[in-house]
Amino acid sequence: MTVRPAGLRAAWFIGGVAAVVVALVAGVAAGPITLPPGAVATELLNLIPGVRLDSGLTEREVAIITELRLPRVVLGLLVGALLALAGAAYQGVFRNPLADPHLLGIAAGAGLGVTAVITLRGGTGDVTADLPVGVPLAAFVGAIVAVVLTYLLGAAGGRTRTPATLILSGVAVSAFLAAAQTFLMQRHTESLREVYAWLLGRLATAGWHDVLVVLPYAAVTGLIVLIHRRELDVLTVGDEEATSLGLHPQRSRYLLVVAASLGTAAAVSVSGLIGFVGMIVPHTVRLLAGPSYRSILPLSVLYGGAFLALTDLVARTVASPAEVPIGVVTAFFGAPFFAVVLRRTRT
């Protein structure tokens, strides 16, 4: 195992904070009305209690920042951080560099849960505005069912859970859950437009309410996974060695999977199906900053949030005034990345 100098880890952490700041300012500044980045940064500082600086912006421009753009960017940071953190946790638990909420079928399970809520309610109104608790919980149930099915199918017939079998199991589970989702949509055609808009991934309708919906789940997921970051390092050496060091491998795995699935469900419930973030970010962090999960997890939070916020910026500006679904943009980056990683891990 390569030991990285402490200074290098500190440099990557500072870089992650800088990436979040750049994503925050750029995401708030860009839009149909472009605002000066310096003035935007000043106005963001004014949100800190006790800080009063003159940004030179009008009241209308300040309202655009605080009520329209800032909630969307903050939600993008939260969703990206959750998906990247969940992906890192899954990769550690399953010892599989290809593990990702999307590829393991977990996002599909969460999506089925949310689709069930939307269709059974008749597809009217903003689903997260009316059911701030029920929607993430429905997504969580679907995510847990999906991860259990994938894990069991990957070892059916006594097979070893290799990266290939686990990914193939995830594909099979995703296909089954997609079929169930299609059946629900066919039975409730009045919900098709809302479901399709949600499935493609979006942050366009985000408001502060959406941020408040996902924030408690993000806090619980982050707390549990980050507290157990040392256990993920121990799990990489194998169950026997972990047991000899006083760790209960299965209990740790179950706890981490549940926590990561909760975060995935919360992210999916407010943003739709956004794939590949949970694979691209933690895998890149591992290559650059080292294999220790004490570094991978916190850095995945920072870079995952920045990555999705900047991806959302691309989604809403590359075809302006139209907006490209963010799930399409992440797939554009993620598909070739997946092919490269698959080639490197093939045995």
Q: What is the pTM of this model?
A: 0.87
Give the amino acid at 1: M
**Are the C-beta atoms of residues 89 and 221 closer than 8 Å to each other?**
no
Distance of CA 210 to the CA centre of its chain: 15
Contact at 8 Å (CB) between 224 and 255? yes
In the chain the domains, ranked by start, together with CATH numbers, are 10-99+203-346 (1.10.3470.10)
% of the chain surpassing 90 pLDDT:
35
Tell me how far CA of residue 149 lies from CA of 39, 86, 165, in angstroms: 50, 18, 13
Reply yes or no on whether the pLDDT at 126 is more than 60.
no
- 310 vs 166, more confident: 310
Mean pLDDT for 63-72 is 92
Over range 68-94, report the average pLDDT. 93
Judge contact between 333 and 323, C-beta under 8 A: no
Residue 226 reports pLDDT greater than 90: yes
Question: How many other C-beta atoms lie within 10 A of the C-beta of residue 305?
Answer: 29
Least confident of 8-17, 53-62, 231-240: 231-240
Which pLDDT does position 118 carry in this prediction? 80
Report the alpha-carbon distance of residue 203 to residue 312 in Å, rounded. 8
